[in-house]
Amino acid sequence: MRKKSLDLEIKLWTKYSLIVGVDEAGRGALAGPIVVAAVILPVNFQSPLIQDSKILTPEQRWKVYQLVKEVAIEYIVVFKDKETVEKKNPLAATKEAMKEAVLQLKNKPDLCLIDGKEKVEIAGIKKINIIGGDRKAINIAAASIVAKVTRDKYMEKLHEKYPQYDWLNNKGYANITHLNAIFQHGICQFHRHTYEPIKSLLKPDCNRQEIKKKYKL
């Protein structure tokens, strides 16, 4: 995926001086928390280094993470643990974290740019949902990087306690190594019971061979 010019805010900054970008990381993972970041960059700030976190290498993300922390007017990170994700469902937990992140900002934003289409109710703040916002808005891209790097570092710490799942590399997502480890070692306290194939594996009458076949393991 090629890099893009994240210039959506150029016109918006003429009307709104404090624009916050909001994005999440980890919603699709089988283990670990959902992490949401809210970032307010200075008016007219631009940097070609800030891009959608998914097209950056880990080394590039770390460099940009440090840059964002240095230049941002303010940033907030909110975690939603596995228990909250299961109790409220992933979407509801993400929306709750987004609302909390924005409301925790000391600088009340004039405009909130949210990645994705799901509406987040935040009283008193104008909001715009942007599908693919991390490829269009620099504040959202910055938030995506802060959320991703923060969550990755958290999963790397968990890897020290649970090396069998290779979270150092897969960060809790459902790659072949992680899925094979789940079948071999079972699940731990950080796995999400409501996500497949964990949900099916926890059923008393589950057919492990059929599940493995479904996931081509």
The full 3-state SS of 176-204, as one line of letters, equals: HHHHHHHHHHCCCCCECCCCCCHHHHCCC
Instruction: Indicate if 146 and 201 belong to the same structural domain.
Output: no
Q: Is 144 a member of any domain?
A: yes
Per-residue confidence of the chain (217 residues) as pLDDT tens digits? 445 568 899 999 999 999 999 999 999 999 999 999 999 999 999 999 999 898 999 999 999 999 999 999 999 999 999 999 999 999 999 999 999 999 999 999 999 999 999 899 999 999 999 999 999 999 999 999 999 999 999 999 999 999 999 999 999 999 999 999 999 999 999 999 999 999 999 999 999 999 999 999 9
CATH of the domain at 107: 3.30.420.10
Q: Is 1 a member of any domain?
A: no
* Domain end residue (candidates: 144, 159, 174): 159
Q: Which two tokens stand for residue 85?
A: 């994700």
Instruction: Indicate if 140 and 60 belong to the same structural domain.
Output: yes
Task: Note the pLDDT of residue 7.
Answer: 84
Q: Is 2 a member of any domain?
A: no
Q: In a 3-state reduction of DSSP, which class is residue 113?
A: strand
This prediction has a pTM of 0.94
Look up the domain containing 205 and give its range: 161-214
Q: Which two tokens stand for residue 50?
A: 């800030």
Instruction: Indicate if 152 and 166 belong to the same structural domain.
Output: no
**C-alpha dihedral (31, 163, 149, 175), degrees to nearest 10:** -60
Task: Note the pLDDT of residue 144.
Answer: 97
Task: Note the pLDDT of residue 5.
Answer: 65
CA dist., res. 57 & res. 169, Å (int): 13
Q: Is 109 a member of any domain?
A: yes
Which helix (H) or strand (E) segment is 40 a member of?
Answer: strand 34-40
